[in-house]
Amino acid sequence: MNFDESEDEIPLMPPTTMPLTIVIIGAGPAGLLLAHYLLQRGKYTVEIYERRPDPRLTDVSQDRTFPISLQERGRKAIRMIPGLEEAIAAESVFCQGTIVYQGKKQARRIAREQPILSIDRNRLVMVLLQQLMAQYSSEQFKIHFGCACIQVDGLGKTVTLQPDTGDAFTVAYDGLVGADGARSQIRDYLVQQSGLQCDQQYIADAYKSVFLQRCRGDVELEPDKIHTCNFDNKTRMIMVPQPGDRLNGVIIFNAEQNPIEGLSTPEAILAFFQQNFPQFGQLMTLEEAEAFLHRPVGRVLAVRCDRFHDDHAVLLLGDSAHAVSPSIGQGCNASLEDVLVLGRLLETYDDDWNQALPAFSQQRLPDAHALRELSDYSFPRNKLLVIEFFLRLTAGRLLHQWFPQWFKPFVFDLILDTDLPYSQVLTLSQAWINKVKRSSPAL
Ligand SMILES: Cc1cc2nc3c(=O)[nH]c(=O)nc-3n(C[C@H](O)[C@H](O)[C@H](O)COP(=O)(O)OP(=O)(O)OC[C@H]3O[C@@H](n4cnc5c(N)ncnc54)[C@H](O)[C@@H]3O)c2cc1C
């Protein structure tokens, strides 16, 4: 049945019925922060359904995780919940800049005006969850792990969930939020039943997580810097200090030309890192090389939608609405900022979702589309443009320092050191983005 044909039959969300039951699909950063916001408003009960197992019961420390850098856009969203930023900061490391290793050449240092908070993705999820459990009763907040959403009935306002063990069951909602990541089931429902236009594309880069100790023998990397190294213009590593002297990160490579595909033993893996990423290879043990060998390759699906809601209280938030390449580290920042924007709109419209959701799409779409452009084209792959990138970064800083009224910082500093809306960052950086775009036809 075409969703549009049945429009008259579907009840709109009654703005006066309180508390409203909001079902959130996905307990990632966006879904969990949204639960905090809704519960803080005192007008909702919240149920979350998450496909993965309960992180409190299983060791997820090295399972599909990577460090996430949070700057002001994400942090200001977290700050609205008392005590949350402090709890997250306690599990994080603050990085003051980046060191770029360049083979035998001297490493390049890029200082940061604002320190970047870096936290492991699963650890961030754990803190958000623990704070929810500590603050709200099971009457107000329920969370079910190992439970995947498999179907949505917009007409009946129900979702069907499939637990890992046992039979599927159905729950009713007043509002449904798809915070279920880039491969969102809720987005699929909106595409099929509500005419949502959505473009989905795997980006060329794939990644594998790497876990090291920051110090080994007499080798020690700086504790408050992000460490990166380019092997060629398609393969690079980003390693970020974590509490407990750990160094977590990823190796990123072109999915079509996986440089580690043919390596089948821990010794070969170790030799690959020692040869091509010597700063990190020295810190790698044979055990880590073995674990690395068996870890899955991750692919990133980029998503672009023409709206984030339907007229019947279904909303997409975070990666399900606008997943992007991690190249500029903004996916999670933008996902958390979504929650801040939605929270403000619920306040403005007195929790009337019939008004707040269209307003959310209208306000957030330009920024989401700009974020996609910035993520795809801020950082060039072409060698000459990489040199120009660093020259512009340095010149941009100096000129902005001397003549702030005439010169804005370069694109990376606008992204990382400010909380300007992404659409404004794109407008200010359009000439550079166009230049990179012209040089990267494959993207
Ligand atoms: C290598 C890498 C590095 C990154 N670094 C950064 C960074 O430095 N800074 C930054 O801001 N961003 C970064 N990101 C992006 C960031 O990880 C995402 O933008 C962020 O996690 C999005 O949060 P989310 O809650 O929307 O989605 P997710 O984190 O994807 O969470 C979605 C949840 O929904 C669950 N789910 C999915 N389908 C279902 C279903 N059918 N039923 C029930 N549950 C379901 C999933 O299991 C998952 O737990 C990085 C991403 C990658 C891959």
Tens-place pLDDT, residues 31-48:
999 999 999 999 999 999
Question: Can you say how many angstroms the Cα of residue 320 is from the centroid of all Cα atoms in its chain?
Answer: 10
User: Do 106 and 130 fall within a single domain?
Assistant: no
For a substitution probing ligand 1, which of 118, 203, 227, 319 has the most ligand atoms within 8 Å of its CB?
Answer: 319
Per-residue pLDDT, averaged over 115-125, amounts to 93
Give the pLDDT mean for 55-76: 83
Domain boundary among 359, 375, 391: 375
Q: Which residue range forms the structural domain that includes residue 73? A: 3-91+121-201+300-375
Reply yes or no: is the peptide bond before residue 19 cis, omega within 30 of 0: yes
Q: Residue 126 Cα, ligand 1 centroid: separation in angstroms?
A: 14
pLDDT band at 14 (very low <50, low <70, confident <90, very high): low
- 242 Cβ below 6 A of ligand 1: no
End of a domain among 272, 299, 326? 299
pLDDT at 16 over 70: no
Which residues does 17 contact at the CB level (< 8 Å), separation at least 6? 174
Q: CB of 178 closer than 6 A to ligand 1?
A: no
Q: Are residues 359 and 289 in the same domain?
A: no
Could you report the per-residue pLDDT of 285-340, keeping only the tens digit for each? 999 999 999 999 999 999 999 999 999 899 999 999 999 999 899 999 999 999 99
Q: Within this chain, do residues 110 and 26 fall inside the same structural domain, yes or no?
A: no
Q: Quick one: pLDDT at residue 4?
A: 38
**Which residue, of 375, 402, 421, is where some domain finishes?**
375
Residue 192: alpha-carbon gap to chain centroid:
25
Res 62: pLDDT: 57
* 309 and 289 both lie in a single domain: no
| Same domain membership, residue 51 and residue 161 | yes
Domain count, the chain: 3
Same domain for 25 and 112, yes or no, is no
Alpha helices in 80-199 (DSSP H): 84-89, 121-135, 185-194
Mutate to test the pocket of ligand 1, among 34, 112, 121, 164 (most ligand atoms within 8 A of CB): 121
Residues, the chain: 443
Same domain, yes or no: 219 and 71: no
Residue 33: the pLDDT is 98
Once rounded to an integer, what is the mean pLDDT over residues 95-106?
87
How far apart CA 410 and CA 138 sit, in angstroms, is: 48
Query: What's the 217 CA to ligand 1 centre distance in angstroms?
Result: 35
Ligand 1 proximity of 31 Cβ (cutoff 6 Å)? yes
Higher per-residue confidence, 298 vs 104: 298
User: Token pair of 328, please?
Assistant: 């500029």
Query: What is the Cα–Cα distance from 214 to 79, expressed in whole angstroms?
Result: 30
Whether residue 145 sits in one domain with residue 61? yes
CA-CA distance, 226 to 99, in Å (whole number)? Answer: 6
**The pLDDT of residue 13:** 56
pLDDT-based confidence at residue 63 (cuts at 50, 70, 90): low
Q: What is the pLDDT of residues 403-419, one digit of tens each?
A: 888 888 888 889 998 99
Q: Which atom of ligand 1 is nearest to the CA of 182?
A: 30
**Cβ count within 10 A of residue 192:** 12
Average pLDDT over residues 267-280: 95
The CATH number covering residue 272 comes to 3.30.9.40
* Mean pLDDT of the region 11-25: 74
CA 434 from chain centre, in angstroms, equals: 25
As a whole number, mean pLDDT of residues 244-253 equals 93
pLDDT of 65 reads 81
The string of pLDDT tens digits covering residues 361-394 is: 999 999 999 999 999 999 887 888 888 888 888 8
What's the CA-to-centroid distance between 324 and ligand 1, angstroms?
10
What is the rounded CA–CA span in Å between residue 323 and residue 317? 10
pLDDT in tens, 274-284: 999 999 999 99
211 and 279 fall within a common domain: yes
Tell me, in angstroms, the distance from the centre of ligand 1 to residue 406's CA: 38
Q: Kindly tell me if the per-residue pLDDT of 2 is higher than 50.
A: no
83 and 208 fall within a common domain: no
Give the per-residue pLDDT at 12. Answer: 52
For 247, list phi and psi in degrees, rounded to 5. Answer: -135, 105
Q: Ligand 1 mean position to 181 CA, how many Å?
A: 5
Mutate to test the pocket of ligand 1, among 36, 51, 162 (most ligand atoms within 8 A of CB): 51
CA 317 to ligand 1: nearest atom: 26
Q: Encoding tokens for residue 408?
A: 């804005």
63 CA to middle of ligand 1, Å? Answer: 13
Residues 227-238 have a mean pLDDT of: 86
- Tell me the sheet residues that pair with 202: 301
Q: Is any atom of ligand 1 closer than 6 Å to the C-beta of 55?
A: no
Residue 166 and residue 58 share a domain: yes
Element (H, E) at 248: strand 246-254
Confidence check: pLDDT of 232 > 80: no
The pLDDT of residue 61:
58
Considering the domain architecture, whether residues 197 and 207 belong to the same structural domain is answered as: no
